[in-house]
Amino acid sequence: MPPELSQRDLEAEHTPHAIAARLQAVGRHTYLGDFVLGAIDGTVTTFAIVAGAAGAGLSAGVALVLGLANVLADGFSMAISNYLKSRSESQVIEAYRKMEELHVERIPDGEREEIRQIFAAKGFDGGTLEKIVDVMTRDRRRWVDTMLQEEWGLPLCSSSPVKAALTTFSAFLLAGTVPLLPLVLGARLDAQEKFTISAVATGLTFFFIGVVRGRLTSRPAWRTALETLVVGGAAALLAFMTGRLLHGLVGG
């Protein structure tokens, strides 16, 4: 839930200027969610490889090769998936918009009745309802926008597929390389020390991503940071134990 605000903060958020700015921001897409998605997946999957390699007793060189391959291949795959997802959402909105524009053109009386029933369900009636119907249907764009939101539950805008893909890939690349840094820079460290430093660095990355999640969801940063750390740690532990098990089977 959003944090509780003081009376002064609430009043400041509800001035005419603040309300106008907030309502305008609703129509703009934020790519923070795409960043968090890519960062979490990049960190989890890359450290899972490092943990699995450590559990299986593989060398740091092997873990580095596997990790780099994951960062590039899986990061690209995830970016493409997010691109197709965003593109599909845009195409769905456009398809419904064209359909509603066609309906407004061919059966305007039926579409006015839909507007009438939509606002009647909100509690308007009589002359007030008819005035609302008249105002809403006077402008074709506003009419269609209302149908998209109220009848189909669709947003009026969607994210840019290219920006969504680039944001996801950049976050995956940035966060996914963190678990690999000790393998590259720690030439004088033994395998156990490299793994320990990688685990600590990964934990800090999970914590930071959790703080960003807190900002995105308006939840306490410490709580989302702890959740992300626990989930990421569980994935890493699972990979490490799997590596241990496979190492034992191979050794047997």
Give the pLDDT confidence of 48-98 residue by residue, as tens digits: 888 888 877 888 888 899 999 999 999 999 999 999 999 999 999 999 999
DSSP type of residue 158:
-
pLDDT at 28 over 70: no
Q: Comparing 219 with 247, which gets the higher pLDDT?
A: 219
| Predicted pLDDT at 1 | 46
Interval 141-163: pLDDT, tens: 999 999 999 999 998 888 899 99
- Average the pLDDT over each of 18-27, 160-169, 203-212 and give the range with the smallest value: 18-27
Q: What is the value of pTM for the model shown? A: 0.77
The more confident residue out of 186 and 234 is 234
Residue 252 has pLDDT above 50, yes or no: no
Lowest mean pLDDT among 83-92, 120-129, 150-159, 214-223: 214-223
Query: How many of the other CB atoms lie within 10 Å of CB of 38?
Result: 28
Least confident interval from 10-14, 33-37, 45-49, 221-225: 10-14
Q: Quick count: other Cβ atoms within 10 Å of Cβ 60?
A: 23
Cβ neighbours of residue 79 under 8 Å, at least 6 residues apart? 38, 165, 166, 168, 169, 172
Q: How far apart are CA 99 and CA 196, in angstroms?
A: 58
- Residue 124 has which token pair? 């308007």
**Residue 123, helix vs strand vs coil:** coil
Residue 30: DSSP 8-state: P
Contacts of 4 (CB under 8 A, 6+ apart): none
Name every residue whose Cβ is closer than 8 Å to that of residue 251 and which is 6 or more positions away in sequence.
Answer: none
Residue found under tokens 């290219």:
162
Sequential DSSP letters for 172-208: HHHHHTGGGHHHHH-TTS-HHHHHHHHHHHHHHHHHH
In this prediction, residue 170 carries a pLDDT of: 96
* Tokens read off for 30: 């934020």
**pLDDT for the residue numbered 27:** 56
Separation of alpha carbons 89 and 82, rounded Å: 11
Domain ranges across the chain: 30-251
